[in-house]
Amino acid sequence: MNEETKKQINARYERELNKGEFFWPDSIFKDAVVSLGIFILLILLATFVGVAGEPKADPSDTSYLPRPEWYFLFLFKFLALYGQIPVVGKIEWLATVLVPSIAIGLLLFIPFVDKKQDRFYAKRALPLGIMFTMVVDIVILTLISDVPTVAADDATLFVKLSASLQPYAGLVIPGVVMALLFFLPRVYKDISWKSMTWLTGIGSFLMIGLTIAILTFAPKLESTETELASTLAEQIFAGQDLYSLHCVECHGDDGKVTVIEGVEGLEGKAISPINSRDVLYTVNDASMAEIIAYGRPDSGMNPFGRMYNPEGLSKGEIDYIVTFMRYMWDDRFEIPAEALKPLFPPLFEGEVPSYDVHIAPIVKRYCVSCHREGKESNNYWMDSYDNIINMGDNAPNIVAGDPNSYLLQVIQGHEIKDAKGEVIIGVMPPKSTLKPNVIDVFIRWIMAGMPRTAMDAAALYVQPTPAVTPTP
Q: Within positions 107 to 146, which residues make up the interface with other proteins, using CB under 8 A?
A: 107-108, 110-112, 114, 117-122, 124, 127-128, 131, 135
CA-based torsion, 23, 26, 29, 34: positive or negative: negative
One residue of 3, 4, 11, 49 binding other proteins per CB under 8 A: 49
Q: Following DSSP, what letter does each residue of 153-164 receive, concatenated?
A: TTS-HHHHHHHH
- Residue 372 and residue 382: Cα distance in Å, rounded? 6
Residue among 129 and 252 whose Cβ is closer to other proteins: 129
Q: Could you say whether residue 332 binds other proteins (CB under 8 A)?
A: yes
* Positions in 228-247 near other proteins (CB under 8 A): 230-231
Residue among 79 and 460 whose Cβ is closer to other proteins: 79
What residues form DSSP beta bridges with 313?
305
Q: Could you say whether residue 96 binds other proteins (CB under 8 A)?
A: yes
One residue of 39, 188, 308, 461 binding other proteins per CB under 8 A: 39
One residue of 3, 4, 26, 309 binding other proteins per CB under 8 A: 26
Q: What's the closest the beta carbon of residue 73 comes to other proteins, in angstroms?
A: 10
Q: What's the closest the beta carbon of residue 291 comes to other proteins, in angstroms?
A: 17
Q: 3-state SS of 294-345? A: HCEHHHCECCCECCCCCCCECHHHHHHHHHHHHHHHCCCCCCCHHHHCCCCC
- Residue 193 and residue 129: Cα distance in Å, rounded? 10
One residue of 102, 104, 424, 462 binding other proteins per CB under 8 A: 104
- Phi first, then psi, for residue 103 (nearest 5°) are -60, -45
Q: Could you say whether residue 29 binds other proteins (CB under 8 A)?
A: yes
Q: Could you say whether residue 296 binds other proteins (CB under 8 A)?
A: no
- Phi first, then psi, for residue 466 (nearest 5°) are -75, 155
* Positions in 406-465 near other proteins (CB under 8 A): none
One residue of 225, 311, 334, 422 binding other proteins per CB under 8 A: 334
CA-based torsion, 254, 256, 262, 265: positive or negative: positive
Please, are residues 397 and 329 in contact by the beta-carbon 8 Å criterion? no
Q: Could you say whether residue 225 binds other proteins (CB under 8 A)?
A: no
Q: What's the closest the beta carbon of residue 263 comes to other proteins, in angstroms?
A: 32
User: Given the rule CB under 8 A, which of 8-16, 177-185, 261-269, 422-430 is the region that contacts other proteins?
Assistant: 8-16
Residue among 19 and 189 whose Cβ is closer to other proteins: 19
CA-based torsion, 163, 165, 169, 170: positive or negative: positive
Q: Could you say whether residue 223 binds other proteins (CB under 8 A)?
A: no
One residue of 2, 3, 11, 59 binding other proteins per CB under 8 A: 59
One residue of 152, 179, 202, 286 binding other proteins per CB under 8 A: 286
Phi and psi based region of residue 467 (left: phi greater than 0; alpha: psi -120 to 50; beta: remaining):
beta
What mask, x for binding other proteins by CB under 8 A, covers residues 172 to 191? --------------------
Burial group, residue 355, by CB count within 10 angstroms (0-12, 13-18, 19+):
buried
What residues form DSSP beta bridges with 296?
301
User: What is the DSSP code (8-state) at residue 259?
Assistant: B
Q: Could you say whether residue 97 binds other proteins (CB under 8 A)?
A: yes
Q: What's the closest the beta carbon of residue 140 comes to other proteins, in angstroms?
A: 16
One residue of 24, 86, 154, 471 binding other proteins per CB under 8 A: 24
* Positions in 62-81 near other proteins (CB under 8 A): 64-72, 76, 79
Please, are residues 239 and 321 in contact by the beta-carbon 8 Å criterion? yes
* Positions in 341-380 near other proteins (CB under 8 A): none
Residue 416, classed as helix, strand or coil, is strand
